[in-house]
Amino acid sequence: MLRKEVNDLLTQTDPGTPMGDMFRQYWIPALLARELPEDDCPPVRVKLLGERLLAFRDSHGRYGLIDEFCAHRGVSLWFGRNEEGGLRCPYHGWKYDVEGNCTEVPSEPAESGFCEKIKLTAYPLIRIGDVLWTHMGDKDNRPPRPEWEFATVPAEQTYTSKRWQECNWLQAMEGGIDSSHVSWLHSGSLKSDPLFKGARGNQYNQNDKKPVFEVVEADGGLFIGARRMAENDQYYWRITPWVMPSFTMVPPRGDHPVHGHFWIPIDDENCWAWSFDYHPTRALSTEERQAMIDGYGVHNQYVPGTFRPRQNKDNDYLMDRDAQKRGETYSGVWGIAMQDASLQESMGPIVDRTKENLVSTDNGIIMARHRLRKAAVALRDKGTPPPGRDIAHQMVRSAARVLPQDQPFKDAMKDDLTVRPGVKQTSV
């Protein structure tokens, strides 16, 4: 369990909070590139870390992420006209560029210099892969641009989606580093999901429902190992990397694409669950990409025109008790992504961790909380930059492998857990 004050520290991310300040030390995904498909297209509302922002792409193809509200009288600039290199407020014509500078105030003489006094909060917005990334912290202490493998392989090898999840970021992220639930919650999907089924490793998940966890610290986070029994008294290892503050990567299955997530706070009671699939050495097949679009694997289907899942708390996630009884889905909820999200949201907007009772399979969660708290306090009290900002920390892979019992995964799988361009993932 956690003391209330520690739970508050880890879950609160508004400006000025320790965890909010820590998230602002990283480049984080803000939008899918396809949300701003062309120059002068309509702006998009964005809420991150408790801040209401607006993203737009100007006449010259430059991306901007600025305060949503006009500095004049607080009108939402979502109603604005995106034209001639800037976003113009429709109320009185004030205009802003992608850096938040006010470039025109039509009611004031140009020679007055009034425009030069007006500037909205603005953050950089850059495209890497099919994601638009932002850094909301000190521009003089900005880390290198992201180089995650899923975002830097050729476009035909990767696919990214996001969904609105109606709970705090931490309980969502903790689900991403918990491998023990796979043998239960996802047991039906391992047999039927086109992005998971057919791998030999699935049999080990189904046959051994009591994994033993071993957690190894890394410079940027943790490697969380879950071992199950395999044939000939060997161990089947599944290794989940967690990179601070909120990157997780699902161990691969067979030659299926590799899955992973970012869990990004919208505010304290909502988060963006970013999900990606990629293959290090080949293009995604037409069937694989269509399965992702259709909501299989770690992706989901949407309410039309939104990023809210079609299965949501208002319709009880379209739970099917008959399918649950027949064993088609262990929880009665369709789809791996929504099997996770439904239970994480069921905990409430912010779960009360003072009431929990943790066990040995929660060691990865325990250590992740400890590292997050330690880093947030060090940043707050000493100004120490947190781990996970270096490019080297991003050069990680998940992996699955069968090993003799006397071989520690941290030694035997060192190369498997490192990005090696042109070398496929290690999988079973």
pLDDT at 182: 81
Residue 90: pLDDT over 90: yes
Mean pLDDT to the nearest integer, 45-62: 98
pLDDT at 183: 80
Using 50, 70 and 90 to split pLDDT, how confident is the model at 184? Answer: confident
pLDDT at 216: 97
Using 50, 70 and 90 to split pLDDT, how confident is the model at 180? Answer: confident
pLDDT at 160: 98
Using 50, 70 and 90 to split pLDDT, how confident is the model at 188? Answer: confident
Residues 337-361 have pLDDT tens digits of: 999 999 999 999 999 999 999 999 9
Residue 179: pLDDT over 80: no
Residues 289-300 have pLDDT tens digits of: 999 999 999 999
Mean pLDDT to the nearest integer, 170-174: 97
- Please report, for residues 97, 196, 304, 329, the alpha-carbon distance to residue 319 in angstroms, rounded to integers and kept in the order given: 47, 21, 20, 10
Mean pLDDT to the nearest integer, 194-210: 92
pLDDT at 195: 95
pLDDT at 340: 95
Mean pLDDT to the nearest integer, 33-54: 98
Using 50, 70 and 90 to split pLDDT, how confident is the model at 228? Answer: very high
Average pLDDT, the chain: 96
Mean pLDDT to the nearest integer, 273-294: 98
Residue 190: pLDDT over 90: no
Using 50, 70 and 90 to split pLDDT, how confident is the model at 110? Answer: confident
Using 50, 70 and 90 to split pLDDT, how confident is the model at 111? Answer: confident
Mean pLDDT to the nearest integer, 172-191: 87
Using 50, 70 and 90 to split pLDDT, how confident is the model at 189? Answer: confident
Phi first, then psi: give them for residue 191, nearest 5 degrees.
-90, -20
Residue 36: pLDDT over 90: yes
- Please report, for residues 47, 83, 277, 287, 328, the alpha-carbon distance to residue 98 in angstroms, rounded to integers and kept in the order given: 17, 12, 31, 39, 50
pLDDT at 258: 97
Residues 299-340 have pLDDT tens digits of: 999 999 999 999 999 999 999 999 999 988 989 999 999 999
Regarding pTM above 0.85, the answer is: yes
